[in-house]
Amino acid sequence: MSDAKITLLMVNDYPDYIDPKVWSRELSKRVPELEFRLWPNRGNPADVHVVLLDKAAPPGLFDGMARLRVLIFLGAGIDGLRVADVPAGVGIVRLATRELASEVVQHILLRVLYRQRHAAEYAVQQRQREWHPIAPAKTGETSIVLLGAGRIGGWAARLFAELGYRTTVWSRSAKQIANVECYHGPSGFKPALEERDYVICTLPLTGETRGILNAGSFAIMKKGAFVINVGRGAHLDEEALIRAIDDGKLSGACLDVFSVEPLATSSPLWTHPRVTITPHVASYWVDSGIDQAAEVCQQVKSGAEISNLVDLNRGY
């Protein structure tokens, strides 16, 4: 169908993050003969070749889509998608852009440096007009582990190593990163966690990683370790985290993702003095995925192999 019209249907449940007018305009610039439709105005479903989706599919979305070739899920992971709803033979692509990865890496660096360089303490000093220099922990004596060594975790690990931190990663399969100690698999989890000042979760959410930050893993960690979670809320047992902080095992946490979002106003995380909350903003500009979506549309249009397909056996 190299010269034929291609039809794309977008489902947008997050207008604060995603502007369908921008996507329509920019995709039309990049993909000749593109017809852009916005749910629920899907027109003739038999015409649809590509679906853009940002959460679980609404009932009946895929009915009659005999020519559907690919679903582009507008997230870094597909844990919010009911894969069983997707018709057999339809490929699934998740967002995997340099821009989104860069934003998450920036957030990780910010959270470590904010704490290490005593930014909160200096803000208090300024309000009180006080002058008390505080020595930061020496970089070469600060140990960091990234759980996940892919596009985000691997990039963050390389940056931390270049800055002089004692850097470790743990991943599903073996990795090699210059100046970074690498562990993998179940047998590598405990040594990866031990004696780290910062434990940073960047993992995809799979059956193997769900609940990985729990009472057992907190018990392995160094006394005073600080947890940063930019993966998924379901990676973390929130009650166990609070207990570990209150018991003095952990020094605190910075959380960008939660098991239920938005975080309930009744959650004790809001008011805990050693927990910092951000509202799932480690990456924000989903619009950076327009180029990737356009590339997928071009591949569909030309009949080419679809790139960056999710491996459903791995879950990412």
**pLDDT, position 110:** 98
Q: How far apart are CA 10 and CA 115, in angstroms?
A: 40
Please check the confidence at residue 3 and state whether its pLDDT lies above 60: no
In b/e form, how buried is each residue of 197-209, taking b as 16+ CB within 10 angstroms? bbbbbbbbbbeeb
Q: Which amino acid is at 138?
A: K
Query: Would you say residue 59 has pLDDT above 90?
Result: yes
- Under the banding of pLDDT at 50, 70 and 90, the label for residue 186 is very high
Question: Residues 205-223: pLDDT tens digits?
Answer: 999 999 999 999 999 999 9
What share of the chain has pLDDT > 90, as a percent? 89
- Indicate whether 2 pLDDT > 60: no
| CB distance 62 to 50 below 8 Å | no
For range 190-202, the mean pLDDT: 98
Q: pLDDT digits over 15-56, tens only?
A: 777 899 999 999 999 999 999 999 999 999 999 999 999 888
274 is an active site residue:
no
Is 204 within 8 Å of 180 (Cβ atoms)? Answer: no
Grouping H, G, I as helix, E, B as strand and the rest as coil, residue 56 is coil
User: According to the model, what pLDDT value does residue 76 have?
Assistant: 85
Residue 270, burial from CB neighbour count under 10 angstroms (0-12, 13-18, 19+): exposed
CA 89 to chain centre: 26
Summarize pLDDT for 66-82 with one digit per residue, the tens.
999 999 999 888 888 88
In angstroms and rounded to an integer, the radius of gyration of the C-alpha atoms of the chain is 22
* Active site (annotated) includes residue 166: no
The pair of structure tokens assigned to 216 is 């057992």
* Domains along the chain with CATH numbers: 6-97+285-302 (3.40.50.720), 137-277 (3.40.50.720)
- Please give the residue that has the higher pLDDT: either 237 or 13: 237
Q: How far is CA 110 from the centre of its chain?
A: 16
Q: At what angle do helices 119-128 and 98-116 cross, to 10 degrees?
A: 60
The identity of residue 62, as a single letter, is F
Which one is catalytic: 37, 151, 158, 280?
A: 280
For residue 310, count other CB atoms closer than 10 A to its CB: 20
* pLDDT greater than 70 at residue 270: yes
In this predicted structure, which of 122-126, 273-277, 283-287 has the lowest mean pLDDT?
283-287
Mean predicted confidence (pLDDT) in 83-109? 95
- Report, as an integer, the average pLDDT of 100-121: 98
Closest CA to 161 of 148, 147, 145: 145
Q: Position 78: which residue type?
A: I
The one catalytic residue in 42, 115, 232, 235 is 232
The pTM assigned to this predicted structure is 0.93
For the record, the structure tokens of 271 come out as: 């008011």
Give me the pLDDT at residue 212, please: 98
